[in-house]
């Protein structure tokens, strides 16, 4: 589904990532670890075409990113849901409308999608907060809203950038359970995180591959995690 072959990425005159090769197979579950500044967010952006590699090849659903037109990349991105670390919302719109934004932008029939939207909002536990404005949400509620927005288009792949970085352990577990459930539905999941306790908790419920960025390269993490 997503494949990186000997990819490098340079930023500000220095190489941030080097010789990165990775395949995200359908239905697989991955954790991406590494110290702050190692390039986890950059690698995720390479995985959905937000950045172009300075060397190597990135293939998204059998298409070479370098050969794609802007519209082609936009269509491919509909198959990839991204939970961003900063959870940006439109503060003047209620939560339900923020979650529905990808549907609106893509020209979907909102009346036809209303039942699916309500079901999704209930699934992430925000039914009672659907009419609230983003500034009124707690950190955990914002993260669940971000997850709902990322999957509203029913993507094949979900990439989550530090989704539990600003919430307590109980909420981290709740978010993790949602992502594991999505994986059991057949979705491919990759979570960038520095939280080793979260990884250990997940491995009790799902067969997860743990990858670590170290010295600009991607390694398979040890069994001690």
* Cβ 55 vs Cβ 7: under 8 Å: yes
Architecture of domain 2-220: 3-Layer(aba) Sandwich (3.40)
Residue 152: predicted pLDDT = 92
pLDDT at 199 over 60: yes
**What's the confidence (pLDDT) of residue 61?**
92
Q: Is the pLDDT score of 225 beyond 60?
A: no
What is the percentage of the chain residues whose pLDDT exceeds 90? 62
Q: State the pLDDT at residue 224.
A: 44
Put residue 60 in one of left, alpha, beta given phi > 0 → left and psi -120 to 50 → alpha: beta
Mapped onto helix, strand or coil, the DSSP state of residue 83 is strand
pLDDT at residue 133, as a whole number: 96
Distances (CA, A) of 11 to 5, 176, 195: 19, 32, 26
> What span, in angstroms and rounded, lies between the C-alpha atoms of 174 and 53?
34
What's the mean pLDDT in 148-169? 90
Q: What is the dihedral of CA 27, 28, 34, 40, to 10 degrees?
A: -40
Q: Per the structure block, which two tokens stand in for 151?
A: 């999957």
What residue segments make up the domains of the chain, in order of their start? 2-220
For 19-23, what is the mean pLDDT? Answer: 94
| Greatest mean pLDDT among 47-56, 71-80, 167-176 | 47-56
pLDDT, tens digit (0-9, with 9 covering 90-100), for 102-138: 988 878 777 777 888 999 999 999 999 999 999 999 9
Q: How far is CA 12 from the centre of its chain?
A: 25
| % of the chain residues with pLDDT over 70 | 98
Are the C-beta atoms of residues 161 and 41 closer than 8 Å to each other? yes
Has residue 143 got a pLDDT over 80? yes
Per DSSP, 11 falls in state E
Predicted pLDDT of residue 222: 59
Per-residue model confidence (pLDDT) at position 223? 46
């Amino acid at each position: 589904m997503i494949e990186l072959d000997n990819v490098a990425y340079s930023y500000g005159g220095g190489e941030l990532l080097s010789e990165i090769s990775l395949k995200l197979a359908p239905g697989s579950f991955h954790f991406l670890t590494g110290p702050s500044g190692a390039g986890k967010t950059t690698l995720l952006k390479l995985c959905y075409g937000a950045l172009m590699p300075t060397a190597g090849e990135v293939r998204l659903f059998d298409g070479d990113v370098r050969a794609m037109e802007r519209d082609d990349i936009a269509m491919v991105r509909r198959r990839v849901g991204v939970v961003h670390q900063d959870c940006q919302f439109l503060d003047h719109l209620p939560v339900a409308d923020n979650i529905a934004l990808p549907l609106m932008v893509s020209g979907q029939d909102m009346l036809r999608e209303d039942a699916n939207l309500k079901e999704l909002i209930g699934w992430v536990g925000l039914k009672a907060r659907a009419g609230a404005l983003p500034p009124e949400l707690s950190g955990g509620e914002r993260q669940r809203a971000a997850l709902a927005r990322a999957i509203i288009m029913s993507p094949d792949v979900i990439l989550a950038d530090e989704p539990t970085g600003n919430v307590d352990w109980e909420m981290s577990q709740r978010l993790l359970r949602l992502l594991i459930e999505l994986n059991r539905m057949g979705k491919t999941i990759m979570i960038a995180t520095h939280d080793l306790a979260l990884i250990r908790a997940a491995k009790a419920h799902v067969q997860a591959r743990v990858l670590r960025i170290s010295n600009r390269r991607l390694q398979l993490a040890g069994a001690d995690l």
